Amino acid sequence: MNKKVAVILSGCGVYDGSEIYESVITLLRLDQRGATVQCFAPNIAQMHVINHLTGEEMPENRNVLVESARLARGEIKDLSEARAEDFDALIMPGGFGAAKNLSDFATQGAACQVLPAVLELAQSFASSGKPVGMMCIAPTMAAHIFGPGVVCTLGNDDDPAAAASREMGVEHQACEVTEIIEDSKNKLVTTPAYMLAQSISDAASGIYKLVDRVLELTNK
């Protein structure tokens, strides 16, 4: 039986949305493993819009769901329609959209809050014992979802995001870009991806392992 996986996107582009390579690699691996995928994104305004050529903020407004549809080739639904009972697992790619649109970690650090719709859905997966995969900066939401003591990685122990996560109650573990960290109690799998990756193949090595392990955990 094919596994059904929900993927939450946060826009389109590393600086203000989902990291495109991470998202595509995730979707590719899920497809290679025969999983049925449904992408979701919150129907909200982006925190801001970044010119990815210059890195400067642009004087315009964009919608997270509409931008995420670019990555999903239009096959995406409003996050409000997502139900944990319809899926076997949940995966959240990174990109600064995870810290700007799915949460306010980018501006609030350890005092951040997670978007209520994201938090409610992720906690539904957690309370149902269904595996969750988070990559890059997305694990900064882990303490809110799973509570203090959750084990995850953001790459290097001395990264400011790792320090802020520890302040929130995360048990942070350093991890190479090619590897994953698993919290067996919470069925959470994390990998650094572009927190450390120097190339798309670097990112893919860890993301493939994350996807494979998440799918394996659906059987446990």
Active site residue ranges:
136
**DSSP-assigned states of every residue in the chain:** ---EEEEE---SSTTTS--HHHHHHHHHHHHHTT-EEEEEE--SB-S-EE-TTT--EES---BHHHHHHHHTTT-EEEGGG--GGG-SEEEE--STHHHHTSBSHHHHGGG--B-HHHHHHHHHHHHTT--EEEETTGGGGHHHHH-TT-EE--S-TTSHHHHHHHHHT-EE----TT--EEETTTTEEEE-GGGT-SSHHHHHHHHHHHHHHHHHHTT-
